[in-house]
Structure 1
């Protein structure tokens, strides 16, 4: 198996590298924009796809093409349009801004977080032509004082300010109650506005075969399958965290972009010293607040840290060592994976909401979503260590 060194942590491919389905999506998307940009109602284009199906890659390629037409000196129907790409994720925003420095069609100001863009467009009362929203499942669905968002729903506010909205949406990557979405929550928007949907279902990140993908999918729904077999994908289960970390370090030296990542099951307080993740004999710091312009996975020193769902969501790694913390357990009677929300340390993710009914099953789903995000990071290998002794023994016995 030949492994290419990756220069970025999600594949922002050129046109030649896009798959036939991605190329079809790009063409369909630009046609939709042309048809709906001057209509009286905002047009909505929704892209669905699981983690690793190349949503960000095709979105970036289409946005670059749109901006090339907007800034072209040759007259065309999209010349002079005002367009933005929005993502509610600091680390992904850094990658997009880095992309802007490498692409003559792009500017750093083209890429925004949602709240500043919403507030600026509302203040100027001038609508944008097209707004692309990557990871739209991270948009807020309630007011958030910390993020200075006073509206009820960020998607609602963006639709008010734009002629066409293109959004990438995957409910299996929702990680917090304050941005809680389920597929049915899109229905009122789709019923109210002219819309089109496109599904990406080919896995581009994880190179493992169908048995590997199915094993992960079933695990994140609570079910255990026999250990998947794939000679070209390195899938391993460890009895201790230290040898897993040693192998990750070795892989990073060989091919780069190999990191430890973990469920949010270990104490952490922002800007209050160093906090640690414990995995058997391994004790290693959580990721630090990243004030640099470089995304977490691209910084060499982060090989000595453990990444969280918030630093790794949306990115490619070559090899991922995943630590399943105390909230992830095993029920022998049903031979099933269980989760324990009371053991989950990211209680900010469970911030109380009165409009969602019974929260316990939703909290469990958020934990399973986080596991799905973590397990689908590694392109060429997935290594697992479970803190819970019963789960660890069951995995080792597969």
Structure 2
């Protein structure tokens, strides 16, 4: 069946109109009509989203690219050794694996002394001639496959060789990069030994067939052999979400190139203290860009002119983040990619050590402290950003003013701080595409307006087949809905505004946990359950801990992360402003007293409301596929109920 025939049939079988498809893909109905009549080709960049909307399976995707006529995906496993490859050459002479380009994985196993679990070590590569390439590996004294073998228990290593009659150089490079992306998020693997980041190749014919047809089939075969974890589990991991091997959008790629040019020019000229700011709203791809910058600069350091203006050294790069959950993710990425120690640090430690670096990357810079706030050696402390600026030849920060959630991070009252972020000498790169929220443009705007407390934002939910928004009247139904989504899709959690008491330093007098009480339901705050606390000691992010489905998260645990479905409890501090027909804040009901300050006996100041609005913005923009909301305030809950479809 031709592609134009298949997309029309699938659309009609799903009960979708051409207008429905157009809304999801953000195109005109005429464009959809032209595709279905074979008058225009579907743009490559829309194929993945289009196929996902119509729920095409791998067989159907392969068929539209004529892959089924030569569906010869072959996979074999051999010992990584001279004997192994010699036997392979003899057995596979003039077969697909010897006559076509191949993808290969070297896999070893090693017992982790700390956890008692056996983990895997891996290298992934591609070759035009697998026999010649394997011989090159074996003969090299400094080789990644040989390193895996020597690091593995019993010095045993398997080489998985994958071939297909449709493989070509572009395809195998694409698949190699995809494997690195998924292997990073696979908990079965402790280390990836690859030494390069290919960067996903540019569009080529049939690219989507390799990405959504061939790759899942290869992965499924490896999964059945218990070599890898399931694709679903990997996609729900924080390492996968923040992988430096992601395919960047054109806007992200352009931003990356601009940043690289500024860094290179600054360092090669011996200049110091250059500031580059990456600014964008929640979900605009800032962290993925930062992760790729981090890995690429570490992998390919810049030449740096020394102070004598004659000699050079290679750049040293460090990444900082003042957010414990996010820092743990970066630390795990660095460990898995063998990037060494002290390449990821928390902000206070880096400032205390006071060592100059060439490239300093700071994610979530809107969380940096602008003052001392009772820290030790108070008179010696400077605002975080100023201290970091003095320790970096080049400073790259990720900053979103809509995620400034505390007076501790306010910069407007400090001229030096404000100018560092917004001055003429600061290079600002903007990201404005939405990558987290997988919804049509109308729904994305609706969520943005709601989260930003825009006037007349409490209006009926838009039609959107791809994104699920629901307002709940019953707390129990809300809680159960998120649990079901977690069972079905994984990575779904409940979060709330900080409107219930919580303290890390003490226990409540009348119970075991600090809790969130909403409607008929009572749940512990985040990081209260002992199972969650134990998992945190093992550096597992809060959202990936199975037992955290029984807790209520906060901006502290979910800022910067993706959830498939987020259930947001809008506490008593969130009310309905009938005049503006929008959400509003009554700060007197907030327990977030580290973020807000009382003035003249009153918490309801413009500044406090701004910080608390930004917290709501963070919570409402976590969901990739859906957002469920329960409001504690009766009037607001009734208003939201009227907006349901």
What's the TM-score, normalizing by structure 2? 0.56
- What residue number does 1:274 align with? 513
* 1:213 to partner: Cα distance: 2.1
Q: Any idea what SS the aligned residue of 2:241 has?
A: coil
Which aligned pairs between 1:234-383 and structure 2 lie closer than 5 A? 234-270=468-504, 271-272=506-507, 273-288=512-527, 290=533, 291-292=536-537, 293-351=539-597, 360-383=605-628
Partner of 2:114: none
CA distance in 2, matches of 1:147, 1:233: 48
**Which residue matches 2:639?**
394
My pick for the range that moved more, 336-345 or 8-17, is 8-17
Match of 2:462 in 1: 228
Q: Provide, for residues 242-264 of structure 1, a one-character-per-residue CA deviation record: whole Å limited to 9, x for no partner.
A: 11111111111122110000011
3-state SS of paired residue (1:268) = coil
Q: Does 1:100 align with 2:329?
A: no
Question: Structure 2 CA distance, aligned partners of 1:18 and 1:353?
Answer: 46
**Structure 2 residue corresponding to 1:115, chosen from 345, 348, 351:** 348
Cα displacement string for residues 270-313 of structure 1 (whole angstroms, at most 9, x for unaligned residues): 24140111221221111126442111101111010000110000
Provide the residue aligned with 2:92 in structure 1: none
- Contact 2:320–2:363 under 8 Å retained in 1: yes
Greater mean alpha carbon deviation, residues 175-184 or residues 61-70: 175-184
- Structure 1 residues 118 and 304, CA gap change in structure 2 (3 angstroms): same
- Distance in 2 (CA, whole Å) between partners of 1:144 and 1:373 is 24
SS in 2 for 1:70: coil
* Aligned with residue 211 of structure 1, among 432, 435, 442: 442
**Are 1:49 and 2:280 counterparts?**
yes
Please say if residues 36 and 164 of structure 1, whose CA atoms lie closer than 8 Å, have aligned partners that are also in contact. yes
Q: Is the 8 A contact 1:43 1:164 kept in 2?
A: yes
Deviation, 1:211, is 2.1
Higher mean displacement: 286-295 or 87-96: 286-295
Q: Which stretch has the larger CA shift, 370-379 or 94-103?
A: 94-103
- Residues of 1 paired with 2:373 and 2:317: CA distance? 25
Provide the residue aligned with 1:6 in structure 2.
Answer: 236
The Cα shift of 1:218 comes to 1.9
Q: Is the 8 A contact 1:10 1:315 kept in 2?
A: no
Question: Unaligned regions of 5+ residues in structure 1, if any?
Answer: none
Larger radius of gyration: 2
Contact 1:9 1:298 in 2 (8 A): no
How far apart, CA to CA, are the structure 2 residues paired with 1:52 and 1:148?
A: 37
Q: CA deviation at 1:353?
A: 9.2
List gaps (5 residues or longer) in structure 2: 1-52, 56-230, 304-310
SS in 2 for 1:264: coil
The alignment partner of 1:329 has SS state of strand
Q: Between Structure 1 and Structure 2, how many residues are aligned?
A: 386
Question: Once structures 1 and 2 are overlaid, which stretch shifts more, 24-33 or 196-205?
Answer: 24-33
**Alpha-carbon distance in structure 2 between the residues aligned to 1:326 and 1:265:** 7
**Contact kept? 1:174, 1:181, Cα under 8 Å:** no
Q: CA 1:67–1:257 in structure 2 vs 1: closer, same or farther (change >3 Å)?
A: same
Aligned-partner Cα distance in 2 for 1:41–1:352: 40
Structure 1 pair 307/196, CA: closer, same or farther in 2 (3 Å)? Answer: same
Asked whether the equivalents of residues 69 and 78 of structure 1 are also in contact (C-alpha less than 8 Å), the reply is no
1:15 CA displacement: 4.3
CA contact (8 A) 1:70 1:78 kept: no
Q: Hey, what's the Cα distance between the residues in 1 that align with 2:359 and 2:635?
A: 51
Q: Specify whether residues 10 and 342 from structure 1 end up closer, same or farther in structure 2 by C-alpha distance, changes over 3 A only.
A: farther
- Residue 92 of structure 1 aligns to a residue in which SS? helix
C-alpha distance 218-153 of structure 1, shift in aligned 2 (>3 A): same
- The match for 2:292 is 61
C-alpha deviation, 1:225, in angstroms = 2.8
- Indicate the residue corresponding to 2:264 in structure 1: 34
Cα 1:211–1:9 shift into 2, 3 Å: farther
Matched-pair contact (CA < 8 Å) for 1:46–1:169: yes
Residue 184 of structure 1, CA deviation: 9.8
Task: Return the offset for 1:113.
Answer: 1.2
Q: Is the 8 A contact 2:515 2:523 kept in 1?
A: yes
Q: 1:367 deviation in Å?
A: 1.1
For 1:148 and 1:257, the matched residues in 2 are separated by 42
Note the C-alpha offset of 1:190: 5.5
Moved more, 234-243 or 149-158: 149-158
**184 and 393 in structure 1: CA distance in 2 versus 1, 3 angstrom threshold:** farther
Contact 1:257 1:297 in 2 (8 A): yes
Does the residue aligned with 1:178 lie in a helix, a strand or coil? Answer: helix
**What is the DSSP-based 3-state SS (H/G/I as helix, E as strand, rest coil) of the residue aligned with 2:238?**
coil
Q: State the match for 2:432 in structure 1.
A: 201
State the alpha-carbon separation in 2 of the partners of residues 391 and 191 from structure 1. 37
Distance 1:127 1:257, change over 3 A: same
> 2-side partners of 1:17 and 1:78: how far apart?
33
Task: Give the C-alpha shift of residue 71 in structure 1.
Answer: 10
CA distance in 2, matches of 1:333, 1:364: 17
Deviations 1:11-41 (A, max 9, x none): 2244452111112222222211111124344
